[in-house]
Amino acid sequence: MATVFAERIQTVSELTHSLRGLLETSFPFVTVTGEISNLRQPSSGHFYFTLKDSTAQIKAVLFKPQQRYLACTPSDGLAVLCRGRLSIYEPRGEYQIIVDYLDTKGAGTLRLAFERLKAKLADEGLFDPARKKTLPFLPAKIALITSPQGAAVIDFIRMAQSRFPGVSIEIYPVRVQGEEAAAEIAAAIGEANRRHTSEVLVLCRGGGSSEDLLAFNEEIVARAIARSALPVASAVGHEVDITIADLVADARAATPTAAAELVLPDGRILKRKAAEYTTRLIGAIRRHLAIYHRQMETSQRLLGAPAITVAHFFLRLNHTRDTLRHATQLHLHRNQSAVKELLGRLLRNDPRQRLANASVRLGECQKRLGLLINHQLERKQSLLAQGAGRLDAVSPLAVLGRGYALVRNAATGAIIRSASQTIIGGCLQVKLHQGNLDCTVTAINTATCRPPTQTMPPRHR
């Protein structure tokens, strides 16, 4: 038995509290449909009832602060749709549903769809205040998306003209209820953005039931509002009516009349403020002028009369001008004298005269150079003639002129000095003083020839 109770022992309160935490964590929100029974409302104002069906029941409580959101009055036997949180009432150990929203079962389907879409768009951030655009202070033109036959358009225009007469209102006529209303509203929002002739867009519709306002709870309308580059103000239904369009829009007005007050300032108030600001501005300017006038008087006392000061400076200006003129003339005279002196020096060193003198000297040099060249040529010619005479005296050609001849082997060109250097039939070339002879050896006579004292190898030329 000791092992059975070895685990931690809890009190009833601890166990009930743990079960309550587990239940509230596991079922944060539930939606339950059933029939109300045992309804009672004590002096606290809370509703206590049982929600049951054919086989089961659950306790329920609707606290007084939540009753302002009721779409219907609870009563016994009424089939309802409840949305809330599960919890345990610890003193009795009973689990119950704490109701946040209650509606009749038929309307509850629409409300459930509304809550689901609302949660979806909230998760996507479409209701985030950070993404909402600021309405212009004084729009030049307003795009009004509404039914042209409804009273809402009349209320809006009447209030708009009352607040700021002459404002331009561009109406985009759409159906505001029915199956095709949501598509028309979304298309009108897109068209207003494409045209971009207005500065603010207003969705406008009068009051009605939840079914009448269904078009403004459609996702297509919410997406169109979120995509709009123009700021969107929503004025759908009465003050108690909250639609998806109201939550996505950049601003919400309770009624069409309030929407005109929201998007347009009161012209009369603006005029009064403008007049007030004008008066304040004139007063400020006058005060500043008075301050500047006093400062000017103080400065005048310190500086003296402007006319006298100007006359004094005028005299100083004349004196400075005369001094400057005299200094300029003196400087000019000095520069003119310097120019004359430089001009004289330049004339004395005129390049043309120097070129003429150089030309005369050049002519004289050319004559002397010609004489020297001729003298050198004559001397060189005499030396050349003497050298030619000496060369001619020792030239072999001079010997030929005295009757001698120069014999060569026609084949080898070797000089023939002895008859033994030839053969019968050999060809010889004989060079005379004038001309050459080609000869053939027909006979050789070596008797009278004195043999050479030294055999010399043939020479080739």
pTM for the complete prediction? 0.44
CATH architecture label of 132-265: 3-Layer(aba) Sandwich (3.40)
Spatial separation of the C-alpha atoms in residues 67 and 47, rounded to whole Å: 9
Spatial separation of the C-alpha atoms in residues 371 and 192, rounded to whole Å: 114
Determine the straight-line distance between the first and last CA of the chain, rounded to whole angstroms: 153
Q: What is the pLDDT of residue 110?
A: 67
* pLDDT, mean of each 10-residue run, the chain (461 residues): 61 84 79 88 90 89 82 80 85 87 66 80 89 89 88 87 87 88 91 91 81 84 91 82 87 88 86 90 93 86 74 85 91 90 81 83 90 91 86 72 80 84 85 84 73 47 39
Nearest in space to 255 (alpha carbons), one of 232, 236, 233, 242: 236
- Residue 338 in tokens: 């310097």
Q: What is the pLDDT of residue 414?
A: 85
Spatial separation of the C-alpha atoms in residues 69 and 210, rounded to whole Å: 13
Q: What is the pLDDT of residue 108?
A: 52
Residues in the chain: 461
Nearest in space to 236 (alpha carbons), one of 204, 258, 201: 204
| 430 Ramachandran zone, left/alpha/beta (phi>0; psi -120 to 50) | beta
Domain 12-123 has CATH 2.40.40.20: no
Degrees, nearest 5: CA angle 190-193-196: 150
Give the phi and the psi of residue 24 in degrees, each rounded to 5. -70, -30
- Residue 428 in tokens: 């010889």
Q: What is the pLDDT of residue 410?
A: 82
- The residues near 221 (Cβ < 8 Å, ≥ 6 apart) are 182, 185, 186, 189, 215, 244, 245
The H or E element that residue 323 is part of is helix 306-348
Q: What is the pLDDT of residue 280?
A: 92
Q: What is the pLDDT of residue 209?
A: 67
Task: Annotate 262-290 with DSSP letters as a single string.
Answer: HHS--HHHHHHHHHHHHHHHHHHHHHHHH
Q: What is the pLDDT of residue 217?
A: 87
Spatial separation of the C-alpha atoms in residues 6 and 434, rounded to whole Å: 163
Q: What is the pLDDT of residue 229?
A: 92
- Residue 365 in tokens: 């040099």
